[in-house]
Each structure stands twice: as structure tokens, then as C-alpha cells.
Amino acid sequence: MRVVLAEDLYLLREGLSQLLRAHGFEIAAAVESGPELSAALAEHRPDVAVVDVRLPPSYTDEGLRAAIEARRQVPGLPVLVLSQHVEQLYARELLADGSGGVGYLLKDRVLNADQFIDAVNRVASGGTVMDPDVIAKLLANRPAAGRIDQLTAREREVLALMAEGRSNAAISQRLFVSEGAVGKHTASIFTKLNLSVSDDDNRRVLAVLAYLNSLRSQA
């Protein structure tokens, strides 16, 4: 699988390259600035891009903007965005086109190599991965909002894990329950949130996030 990597810190760039190579990825390009990233994305059309939000020359949200622009030109281009801090604002912008294949993680998550590689793989295959911090903020700030209210504590846990892009199997492992029980929970969540059931991993995350987002924007 071919990866374009954009990160301005040399050490971190090399570390990420090594980590990805060690897990069988091919580094098509490892760049250190926004313009280079745009060029590399256009040239290599990678299977997945791993992008730092803040890049030279402006050291603002150069990376994020380059990624969103690239996804505008190549819809569904899988992009995993890394940052030192997570903002719901950025998460919404990344999800705005609704075509999946998006990830948004804290750089800290790189420390757990297995989880990080798993996230890269899920993004590459069109899934959506949101950092638990983003999900936590979305859920925490609206404890009394509408239908979310009706969820049990367990269902909320499941919803949060679902929003991180995990499959029922992964959730069942995480919560130490059977996969069937998770299935029941998700079905119940969908009913309570008034969402039609779908097997598609990606759509279900998008639906959940769209629901949470709309909850905030409509009010």
C-alpha cells in the first residue's frame, strides 16, 4: 500500500516512515511542507496520505487545507490527519464532504503502534476514524440533548467506539461482551436515534457523526 507522508519534524517523519515500512507500507513520498504535499498527492495518488495539520511555510493549518483541497479534486482520497491538538471544528470540516476515508487523530496515538497502523488501514479502506478526544467532547458537552438522552450508559460507550470507526467485533473485544450483544446495542442505538440500519461500517460512523453534528448546529 502506498503512502504519502507529510510532517515537518525530521525525527517524527523518519519515525513514522520506519513504522509504516515495518508494517508493509510503501512510502511513495515523505514531504515536509504544504506545497510539496499538494504536489506529491497530485503526482502519486497514494492509497492513503498521513498528514500533519501544521506545516511550513505558514505553520498554520497548511496540511489540513492541502488535504481538504486534494480530497476536493480526488473525492474519497483517504487522508489521515495528525495534530498536536484536536478540534471539533477541523473534524467537521474533514467530514463535510461525506465521502469517507478520513481520519483525524492526535499525534499521541502514534505511541501505540498497533492502534495507529490499524487506523491507517481503516482509513485506506474508506473507513472513518475519529480521535476518542473528539468523540468524548461531542458526547460530553451535550449530556441532555434530545435523543442521545435516551441511550443507556452502555449504548453510549458502544456509540463512542462506533464513532471511532470500530467494527462490532472490535467493540465486543473492547467491552468484553459477545458480538451478538454489541449487535443488539447498535440496533437499539439506531432505533433510538432514528437511523436506518446498515452494515456498512463507514456509513454508520458518518451517520452517527452527522447526527451528533446536526445536534449541535441545529440548536
Partner 1 sequence: MKALAKGAGLFGLAVIGFLGSVLVIASFAPGFGLGMVFLLPAPILFARKAAGLARRYTLAWTGVSIATPYTPAPPPPVRQPDGWYRRDRQLYRKPWLPSMMANLDWLLGDNATWRDLAWMLLSPFTGGLIAVLPAALIGAGISMPFWLDQRWAGLLAGALTVLIGLFTAPYAVRVTARFNKRMLGGPLLRSDVDDPRAVAHPMREWFGRALVPVLKLAVLFLTSILGVLVFAATVAGLVLGYGLGLFFLVPMVLEDLRWLADWRRSSLAPWTGVSIPRPYRPFPEVPRSDDGLYRVGKNLYKTHRWAMFAQRALWLTKDPATWREVLWRGTDPIIGGLIAGVPVLLVGYGIWGFALPRVVQLLFDGHSGAWYGHVAGQAWPAVPVGLLLAWVGIALAPKALKLHGQWSKLLLGANTDAVLAQRVEQLTVSRAEASNASAAELRRIERDLHDGTQARLVALGLSLAAIERLMDTDPPAAKELIGKTREAAATALRELREVVRGVHPPVLAERGLVDAVRALALDSPVTARVSTTVTRRFPDPIEAAAYFAVAEALGNAARHAEAANVDISLDETDDLLRIVVRDDGHGGADPGRGSGLRGLARRLGIFDGTVAISSPPGGPTELTMEIPCASSLPRTSTS
Residue 166 interacting with partner 1 (CB under 8 A) = no
Nearer to partner 1, 83 or 202 (CB): 83
| 18 binding partner 1? (CB under 8 A) | no
Helix (H) or strand (E) holding 208: helix 201-218
Q: CB-wise, 1 or 215, nearer to partner 1? A: 215
SS3 helix, strand, coil % of the chain, rounded to 5?
A: 60, 15, 30
For residues 4 and 46, is the Cβ–Cβ distance under 8 A? yes
> Residues 105-134 vs partner 1: string with x where CB under 8 A?
-xxx--xx----------------------
Strand partners, 105: 82
Measure CA 190 to chain center.
21
Q: How far is the CB of 185 from partner 1 (least distance, A)?
A: 26
Using CB under 8 A, count the residues that bind partner 1: 25
Backbone angles phi, psi at 5, to 5 degrees: -115, 130
In the list 18, 73, 84, 214, the residue contacting partner 1 (rule: CB under 8 A) is: 84
Residue 34 found at the interface with partner 1 (CB under 8 A) = no
Closest to partner 1 by CB, 108 or 179: 108
- Calculated CA dihedral for residues 31, 127, 65, 160, nearest 10 degrees: -120
Q: Which stretch binds partner 1 (CB under 8 A): 9-17, 20-28, 104-112, 183-191?
A: 104-112
One residue of 9, 15, 59, 214 binding partner 1 per CB under 8 A = 59
Strand order in the sheet with 2-6: 26-31, 2-6, 48-52, 79-83, 102-106, 128-130
Does 204 sit near partner 1 (CB under 8 A)? no
Distance CA 2, CA 142 (A): 39
Q: Which residues make up the interface to partner 1 (CB under 8 A)? A: 53-54, 59-61, 64, 83-85, 87-90, 92, 106-108, 111-112, 137, 140-142, 216, 219
